[in-house]
């Protein structure tokens, strides 16, 4: 295992979590600093100020402020009042299901919904485009159908109570047995 250099008061396990969450964030298209701050606030026992976050992570205060704004926008953290202290304190959503739901909702709103709208417009234009082949029109329609189906599925899954969704996910391959699907049996 790679050794984690800890220059602050973070324990090695917390430092490892923060660094790895930051790396994962980068892979998901999220700024590394944003992901690291989220990880720190998620794992922290008590709410932290922006100054404390900057000190613990060795980040510029302005970077922390911008990252906090982004995390607030995603509703992954929130302000917490602390008696006797006028500074803003922050804590992360601690319910992992709620956190995952908020991330999924935010990504859908920023990525899937605009893609679906663009595909609707493309399909409407393609319908009356004499220069577009029937095969290209069919591909556009199939893409819109796929995105719309996945979008509806996402919205339906958000309505499923967490205990039922957990049970559904834990069933894993049991779902495929339930609907009598086997690999090679057909994809429809």
Q: What is the pLDDT of residue 5?
A: 47
What is the rounded CA–CA span in Å between residue 119 and residue 133? 17
- Does the structure show a pLDDT above 70 at 186? no
Q: What is the pLDDT of residue 170?
A: 86
Q: Are residues 73 and 141 in the same domain?
A: no
- Residue 102 is encoded by which pair of tokens? 């908020």
73 in a structural domain = yes
Structural domains in the chain (count): 2
Q: Are residues 23 and 70 in the same domain?
A: yes
What is the rounded CA–CA span in Å between residue 170 and residue 177? 14
Q: What is the mean pLDDT of the chain?
A: 90
Q: Are residues 152 and 102 in the same domain?
A: yes
Mean pLDDT over residues 12-37, rounded?
93
186 in a structural domain = no
Q: Kindly report the CATH number assigned to the domain that includes residue 24.
A: 1.10.10.10
Q: Which residues of 74-99 are buried (b: 16+ CB within 10 A; e: fewer)?
A: bebbeeeeeeeeeebbbbbbeeeeeb
Three-state secondary-structure class, residue 86: strand
37-51, 53-67, 91-105, 172-186: least confidently modelled range:
172-186
The residue with tokens 């009598």 is 180
Mean pLDDT over residues 1-8, rounded?
47
Q: What percent of the chain clears pLDDT 70, i.e. is strictly above it? A: 92
Bridge pairing between strands 77-82 and 48-49: unpaired
Q: What is the pLDDT of residue 4?
A: 45
Phi/psi at 132 (5° precision): -95, 130
Domain finish residue from 43, 67, 92:
92
Q: What is the pLDDT of residues 145-181, one digit of tens each?
A: 999 999 999 999 989 998 998 888 888 778 777 777 7
Which DSSP helix (H) or strand (E) runs through 124?
A: helix 113-127
Q: Are residues 102 and 161 in the same domain?
A: yes
At residue 96 the predicted structure's pLDDT band, cuts being 50, 70 and 90, is very high
pTM for the complete prediction? 0.76
Strands ordered across the beta sheet of 85-92: 48-49, 85-92, 77-82
Q: What is the pLDDT of residue 171?
A: 85
C-beta separation of 22 from 33 below 8 A: yes
139 in a structural domain = yes
> What is the CB neighbour count within 10 angstroms for residue 153?
10
C-beta separation of 13 from 43 below 8 A: no
Q: What is the pLDDT of residue 13?
A: 94
Mean pLDDT over residues 36-51, rounded?
97
Q: Are residues 100 and 87 in the same domain?
A: no
The residue with tokens 């893609």 is 115
Q: What is the pLDDT of residue 176?
A: 76
Q: Are residues 147 and 102 in the same domain?
A: yes
Query: Which residue has better confidence, 188 or 31?
Result: 31
| Domain residue limits at 104 | 96-170
């Amino acid at each position: 295992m790679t050794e984690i250099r800890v220059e602050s008061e973070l324990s090695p396990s917390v430092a490892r979590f923060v660094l790895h969450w930051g790396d994962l964030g980068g892979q998901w298209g999220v700024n590394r600093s944003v992901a690291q701050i989220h990880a720190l606030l998620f794992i922290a026992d008590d709410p932290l100020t922006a100054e404390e976050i900057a000190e613990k992570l060795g980040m510029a205060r302005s970077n922390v402020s911008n990252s906090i704004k982004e995390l607030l926008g995603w509703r992954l953290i929130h302000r917490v009042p602390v008696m006797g202290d006028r500074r803003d304190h922050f804590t992360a959503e601690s319910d992992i299901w709620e956190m995952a739901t908020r991330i999924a909702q935010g990504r859908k709103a920023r990525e899937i919904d605009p893609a679906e709208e663009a595909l609707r417009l493309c399909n409407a234009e393609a319908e009356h485009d004499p220069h577009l082949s029937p095969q290209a029109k069919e591909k556009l329609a199939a893409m819109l159908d796929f995105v719309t189906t996945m979008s509806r599925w996402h919205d339906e899954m958000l309505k499923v109570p967490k205990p039922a969704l957990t049970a559904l996910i834990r069933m894993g391959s049991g779902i495929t047995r339930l609907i009598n699907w086997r690999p090679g049996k057909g994809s429809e």
